């Protein structure tokens, strides 16, 4: 997508529990429609199929909620962040709630490619056996953690141990994770939960919420 | 829309017997959802056919199939209504009733069970489903759905026994109650139906004459997941008088009724504002036949200039004018161009009354290529009445000619120029071809291969319908009540979602016919003109005389002009009278 002269604002939104199984593309399409309903002066991509210029910081995996997701919206003329919020918030579809709109320095597109880690909070409906704390300790003690990922037609093995920046059981039903994300390599919270043997078709599904995205220091 | 169910007098399940992505694309469902929910005393909720994995989960967890809005089990609704769009969804109707905890046979439903009703194109011959349906609606649903709902509310609140309520429903124009008619057979031949209990001899289709006054949903539910038709669908007209002799819709939606430009512009504005969609599709059976189509397109282009909203015109007539119009509205986004030539020779097009010439086809194609389209879509049918070898070869020849024209104009670069879809003819009730045979599947396949073998070029991408699916479609389209037993056996064999080629199981269907003791071939042959037809007591407006006349003209290779551009063809739909009566 070519970014011509336009003014960006950042949308902070929530992807709620009831829409956790929406794919990233579904979320993107729903947000585009909301932006159109709000009649904002959005900038459109050029070409065969013009679409509102809306760039998401980082796609969420299927089944994962987000409490402070970020997306950059390009406007064709300057508009105060609070005005964007007032127009857009009532047009958001159920499950996707606009929390804030933030003005960006010089209206420049945020450097989402520099995001490199994210916080997650995982809540289990009931305490696990063996307990969560013990599982986490054992996991962190392992030097490598190979997982299989789809690649094209086949599979490849990735060691995600180095992408687990921190993992901490805050109670017997709650887990806090900080995982690497972005182009430098990433681990999905679901991969980590599978490694903890805490996520499968036979278990009640924990609620996973991404709470924050961080940018590389410096 | 989620209503408080303790505050309504009637719950109405709008069931679409296919998956969500298909059902949510259907405009009829949106209209009825809107019409019924506009009434504060009615809650209409959507129910779709679950896909295989969800069906398994429902069974595993013993959860009855439920509505999307209030998660109400199907069996708890007052009325359960099915939209019958396609014969291969009939097993889904049964599967949904089973999963929803509703007794499948109407005769086994009691006081607290819902009324199970159906409507839609296939309801014009609902006989294969007769034992499963309490009532069937013929024609436009906007008014009759409310009539039915009102009668049911009154009947329920007065504690009317089920049978009495059904008898009452049968007095509503356009409502057919199958249990009030007994079918007779003479040996293995259908011999007519007999009305019981003073039920009307003939049930006549309901027609909404004034589309401007008819409610249209300009704030439909916008699905999160991508549906088949993910856009604003604006119905600009209903009915078509082109008179293609194979076409069920053309014969059963007469007369032509149009929404006026002003209303359409307002509805388009409201729809885009409320949904955020960036595409409007102008729906009708033949979009370019709308009397002010150019002015309408200009209106919409003006209304949405600068908003990146595109306009698409499906169901184009095959001519250069239509292609030109398509090009004119494609300022924002270009949609594909589809030309339905249907047959490969002039002789056969005269038989089916598809009044386009080779010249029309070529000019339309050239107009598309000149406008820069790299590829176009072409629709043909094989197995049409009187079809000969040269007609089949004519399809390949027509396509090759178009490919040549495209090449000369630099289309397709080195890839595909023509996407060709070849369907098999299915004789449909209420059409001039309702008496015709369907060719055996082996012969249909041979003719498909003939097209394939003569179109071996990289510039053509061919697709065709599964002949076994077309065969089943033909059996049920002209079926009678004896086929209900086949549907029950098919369900016992676990069949459903038969319209999905990867789940379709022709072997198991053969088994279902064998177990039911029904010979499928009996439904596929030519019918005699004086033989009673299972849908004779259901009238869509066109007279049997007209259909017979059209059949004879077809076999004589004589086309019949469109009555909007020529003299009245006396089809039996008294459109002048209807219009006068409406004033």
Q: How many other C-beta atoms can be found within 10 angstroms of the C-beta atom of residue A129?
A: 9
- Band of the pLDDT at B229, cuts 50, 70, 90? confident
A48 close contact with B: CB closer than 8 A: yes
B261-279: b or e for each residue (b if 16 or more CB lie within 10 Å)?
A: bebbbebbeebbebbbbbb
In B, minimum Cα distance to A39 occurs at B273
- Band of the pLDDT at B292, cuts 50, 70, 90? very high
pLDDT of residue B445: 97
Q: What is the C-alpha to C-alpha distance for residues B125 and B316, in angstroms, rounded to an integer? A: 28
Name the residue ranges covered by the structural domains of chain A.
7-110, 115-215
Cα–Cα nearest to B216, from B288, B269, B175: B269
Chain A to chain B Cβ contacts (< 8 Å): 38
Contact A22 B222 (CB under 8 A): no
| CATH number of domain containing B146 | 3.40.50.2300
- Band of the pLDDT at B583, cuts 50, 70, 90? low
Residue A3 in this model has a pLDDT that exceeds 70: no
ipTM of the complex: 0.83
pLDDT of residue B306: 84
Range of the domain at B163: 5-196
HSE at residue B60, side-chain half, CA atoms within 13 A, is 7
Crossing angle for the helix pair B389-408 and B358-370, to the nearest 10 degrees = 30
In a domain, B151, yes or no: yes
What residues pair up with B461 in beta bridges, in sequence order? B419
Q: What is the CATH number of domain A115-215?
A: 3.30.70
Q: Which residues of B touch A26 (CB under 8 A)?
A: 224-226
Q: What is the C-alpha to C-alpha distance for residues B66 and B57, in angstroms, rounded to an integer? A: 13
Q: pLDDT tens, A164-211?
A: 999 999 999 999 999 999 888 999 999 999 999 999 888 888 999 999
* Alpha-carbon distance values, B73 to A49, B23, B67 (Å): 42, 19, 7
- Band of the pLDDT at B508, cuts 50, 70, 90? very high
B408 close contact with A: CB closer than 8 A: no
pLDDT of residue A2: 47
Contact (Cβ atoms closer than 8 angstroms) between residue B258 and residue B575: no
Q: pLDDT tens, A84-140?
A: 999 999 999 999 999 999 998 888 888 888 899 999 999 999 999 999 999 999 999
Residue A50 in this model has a pLDDT that exceeds 60: yes
In a domain, B530, yes or no: no
pLDDT of residue A19: 95
Q: What is the C-alpha to C-alpha distance for residues B175 and B136, in angstroms, rounded to an integer? A: 6
pLDDT of residue B321: 85
pLDDT of residue B359: 93
What is the DSSP code (8-state) at residue B170?
A: T
In a domain, B260, yes or no: no
Phi, psi angle pair for A151, to nearest 5°: -140, 110
Contacts of A19 (CB under 8 A, 6+ apart): A27, A94, A95, A96, B224
SS3 B113: coil
- Same CATH topology for A7-110 and A115-215: the answer is yes
Instruction: Taking the CA atoms of B50, B55, B59 and B60 in sequence, report the sign of the dihedral they define.
Output: negative
A93 close contact with B: CB closer than 8 A: yes
What's the gap between Cα B51 and its chain centre?
21
Domains in chain B, number: 1
In a domain, B367, yes or no: no
HSE at residue B483, side-chain half, CA atoms within 13 A, is 27
Rounded to the nearest integer, the mean pLDDT of chain B is: 94
Q: Which residues of B touch A25 (CB under 8 A)?
A: 226
Rounded to the nearest integer, the mean pLDDT of chain A is: 91
DSSP per-residue codes, B60-76: HTTPPPB-TTT--BGGG
In a domain, B498, yes or no: no
Q: What is the CATH number of domain A7-110?
A: 3.30.70.580
pLDDT of residue A12: 97
Residue A4 in this model has a pLDDT that exceeds 90: no
In a domain, B446, yes or no: no
Mean per-residue pLDDT, B562-581: 84
The minimal CB distance from B278 to the residues A19, A34, A36 is found for A36
Contact A26 B276 (CB under 8 A): no
Contact (Cβ atoms closer than 8 angstroms) between residue A79 and residue A40: yes
In a domain, B473, yes or no: no
Cα–Cα nearest to B81, from B23, B135, B138: B135
Peptide bond into A130 cis (omega under 30): yes
Instruction: Find the range with the poorest average confidence among A55-69, A103-117, B5-19, B553-567.
Output: A103-117
In a domain, B184, yes or no: yes
């Amino acid at each position: 997508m070519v970014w011509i002269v336009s003014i960006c604002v950042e949308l902070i939104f929530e992807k709620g529990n009831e829409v956790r199984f929406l794919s990233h593309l579904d979320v993107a399409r729903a947000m585009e429609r909301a932006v159109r309903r709000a009649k904002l002066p959005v900038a459109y991509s050029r070409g065969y199929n013009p679409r509102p210029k809306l760039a998401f910081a980082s796609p969420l995996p299927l089944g994962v909620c987000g409490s402070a997701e970020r997306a950059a919206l390009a406007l064709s003329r300057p508009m105060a962040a609070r005005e964007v919020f007032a127009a857009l918030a009532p047009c958001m579809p159920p499950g996707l709630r606009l929390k804030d709109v933030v003005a960006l320095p010089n209206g420049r597109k945020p450097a989402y490619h520099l995001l490199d880690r994210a916080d997650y909070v995982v809540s289990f409906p009931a305490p696990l056996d063996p307990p969560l704390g013990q599982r986490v300790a054992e996991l962190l003690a392992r030097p490598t953690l190979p997982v299989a990922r789809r690649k094209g037609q086949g599979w490849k093995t990735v060691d995600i141990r180095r992408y687990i920046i921190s993992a901490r059981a805050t109670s017997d039903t709650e887990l806090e994770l900080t995982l690497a994300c972005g182009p430098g390599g990433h681990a999905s919270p679901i991969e980590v939960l599978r490694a903890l043997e805490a996520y499968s078709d036979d278990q009640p599904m924990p609620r996973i919420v991404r709470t924050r995205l961080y940018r590389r220091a410096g | 829309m989620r209503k408080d169910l303790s505050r309504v007098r009637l719950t109405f399940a709008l069931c679409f017997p296919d998956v969500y992505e298909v059902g949510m694309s259907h405009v009829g469902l949106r209209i009825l959802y809107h019409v019924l929910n506009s009434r504060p005393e009615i809650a209409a909720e959507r129910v779709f056919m679950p896909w295989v994995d969800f069906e398994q989960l429902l069974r595993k967890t013993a959860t009855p199939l439920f509505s999307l809005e209030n998660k109400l089990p199907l069996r708890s609704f007052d009325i359960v209504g099915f939209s019958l769009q396609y014969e291969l969804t009939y097993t889904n109707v049964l599967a949904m009733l089973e999963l929803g905890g509703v007794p499948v046979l109407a005769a086994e439903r009691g006081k607290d069970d819902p009324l199970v009703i159906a409507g839609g194109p296939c309801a014009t011959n609902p006989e294969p489903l007769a034992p499963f349906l309490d009532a069937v609606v013929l024609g436009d649903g906007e008014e009759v759905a409310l009539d039915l709902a009102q009668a049911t509310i009154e009947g329920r609140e007065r504690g009317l026994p089920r049978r009495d309520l059904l008898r009452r429903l049968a007095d509503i124009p356009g409502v057919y109650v199958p249990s009030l008619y007994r079918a007779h057979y003479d040996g293995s031949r259908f011999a007519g139906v007999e009305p019981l209990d003073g039920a009307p001899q003939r049930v006549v289709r309901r027609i909404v004459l004034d589309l401007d006054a008819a409610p249209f949903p300009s704030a439909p539910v916008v699905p999160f997941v991508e549906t088949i038709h993910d856009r604003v669908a604006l119905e600009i007209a209903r009915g078509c008088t082109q008179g293609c002799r194979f076409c069920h819709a053309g014969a059963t939606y007469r007369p032509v009724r149009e929404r006026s430009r002003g209303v359409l512009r307002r509805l388009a504005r409201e729809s885009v504002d409320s949904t955020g969609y960036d595409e409007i599709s102008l729906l009708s059976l033949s979009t370019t036949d709308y009397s002010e189509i150019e002015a309408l397109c200009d209106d919409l282009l003006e209304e949405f200039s600068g908003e990146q909203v595109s306009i698409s015109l499906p169901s184009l007539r095959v001519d250069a004018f239509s292609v030109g119009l398509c090009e004119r509205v494609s300022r924002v986004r270009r949609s594909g161009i589809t030309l339905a030539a249907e047959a490969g020779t002039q002789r056969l097009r005269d038989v089916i009354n598809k009044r386009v010439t080779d010249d029309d086809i070529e000019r339309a194609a050239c107009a598309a290529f000149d406008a820069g389209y790299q590829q176009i879509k072409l629709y043909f049918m094989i197995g049409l009445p009187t079809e000969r070898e040269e007609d089949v070869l004519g399809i390949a020849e027509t396509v090759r000619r178009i490919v040549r024209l495209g090449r000369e104009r630099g289309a397709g670069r080195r890839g595909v120029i023509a996407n060709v879809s070849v369907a098999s003819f299915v004789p449909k009730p209420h059409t001039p071809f309702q008496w015709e045979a369907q060719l055996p599947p082996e012969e249909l396949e041979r003719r498909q291969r003939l097209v394939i073998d003569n179109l071996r070029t990289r510039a053509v991408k061919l697709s065709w319908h599964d002949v076994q699916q077309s065969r089943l479609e033909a059996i049920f389209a002209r079926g009678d009540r004896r086929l209900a037993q086949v549907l029950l056996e098919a369900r016992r064999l676990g069949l459903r979602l038969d319209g999905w080629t990867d789940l379709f199981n022709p072997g198991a269907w053969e088994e279902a016919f064998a177990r039911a003791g029904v010979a499928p071939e009996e439904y596929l042959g030519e019918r005699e003109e004086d033989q009673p037809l299972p849908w004779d007591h259901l009238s869509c407006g066109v007279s049997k005389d007209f259909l017979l006349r059209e059949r004879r003209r077809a076999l004589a290779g004589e086309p019949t002009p469109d009555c909007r551009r020529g003299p009245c063809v006396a089809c039996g739909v008294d459109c002048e009278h209807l219009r006068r009566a409406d004033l």
